[in-house]
Amino acid sequence: MGSSLPLLLFSRKKRCKAIIYANDRTRDGFSEEVFFLKRARIIYNPTSGRETFRRELAKVLERFEEAGYETSAHATTGEGDATNAARIAVERRYDLIVVAGGDGTINEVVHGIAEAEFRPEIGIIPAGTTNDFARALAIPRDINKAVGIILNDNHPKALDIGKVNDQYFINIAGGGDLTELTYDVPIKMKSAMGQLAYYIKGIEMLPFLKPVTTRIEYDDKVFEGDIMLFLIANTNSVGGFEKLAPDALIDDGYFDLLILKKTNLPEFLRIATAGIRGTHLEDENLLYTQAKRIKVTPKEKMLLNIDGEYGGELPGEIINLQQHIKFYVSNEFLTKELETKRNLLQLEEGSE
């Protein structure tokens, strides 16, 4: 029996490679056993979190190869590099982009694919400080388990993203003095102290918080007044807290909008404490609603926070791009989402 001669084919329709063997003949010419090799690109931030992913990279590459992915990796070198790497992945038509990093790295990758006609699916390995988006999708920080969600659970789901002016976000857009702390905290402090670094910085800022007169248009309604901050949430996980927008869904085309009106320091601390417990939504100083399109116009200088990073200055118009990108999610996320939808439906039926 002669040796098998491998032939490498490329299928445009399936966007993957096929390996067949010339001597594995059947009545149709070749063996029906054709192995399709998908292509994955890992984009990782080598400085995220405590730099643990970089040490595990070889093992992760091996797992994806064993699962049938032709896999390569790119280590980001600075701000904007993950966006460029994602654009290259789109041009080369990778089937999957795996992002290993925090919310900022995921945000950059989304910027690289959001406007493309062909958009690879995205898998996430949480390696940042807060990992709000990964937490919302119930993806664990454990690298092996996160890889398992991509390779074993295999649930790519089309999710919403947000667009504000010419920028995109996956999790949160906000404004007000306190929202600035997420990008004011030094990288070394975040790496050494984790989420505690944000709490320390927030306590430092409390005495200096001041309200700003702001006009906020949301769908067909308008709010105008002095506010301490506003948050536009795409998920239920905001700043490490999972109860600020407890009913947020990531595929319904709506944002959850929270506006904190002018308060003094004791009132602010009381509302913040209630937010941790999830008992804040009925407070008279807080406006909580849902909207697809939101326009924010402050009367004074107000900076924009996008997924924990500096996003320029307001004004800005924020729109929801419903089910725009497919992300790999966990079974736990699917169960929680279904439960939330059932609860919301029961509330609607009860109010009729």
Q: Rounded to 5 degrees, what are φ and ψ at 202?
A: -65, -40
Query: For residue 83, how many C-alpha atoms fall within 13 Å in the half-sphere facing its CB?
Result: 13
**Is there a contact between 54 and 143 (Cβ–Cβ < 8 Å)?**
no
Q: What is the CA radius of gyration of the chain?
A: 23
**Is there a contact between 281 and 290 (Cβ–Cβ < 8 Å)?**
no
| Cα–Cα dist 303/300, whole Å | 10
| Cα–Cα dist 212/112, whole Å | 33
| Cα–Cα dist 200/197, whole Å | 5
Catalytic residue chosen out of the listed positions 217, 242, 309, 332: 309
| Of the candidates 141, 130, 103, the residue with the CA atom closest to the CA atom of residue 122 | 103
**Is there a contact between 108 and 86 (Cβ–Cβ < 8 Å)?**
yes
The token duo for 114 is 């959001």
Q: Is 309 a catalytic residue?
A: yes
Cβ-in-10-Å burial (0-12, 13-18, 19+) of 351 comes to exposed
Q: Which residue has 């898998």 as its token pair?
A: 123
| Cα–Cα dist 296/293, whole Å | 10
| Cα–Cα dist 335/241, whole Å | 20
- DSSP 8-state secondary structure symbol assigned to residue 179: G
The amino acid present at 83, given as its one-letter code, is T
Active site residues: 309
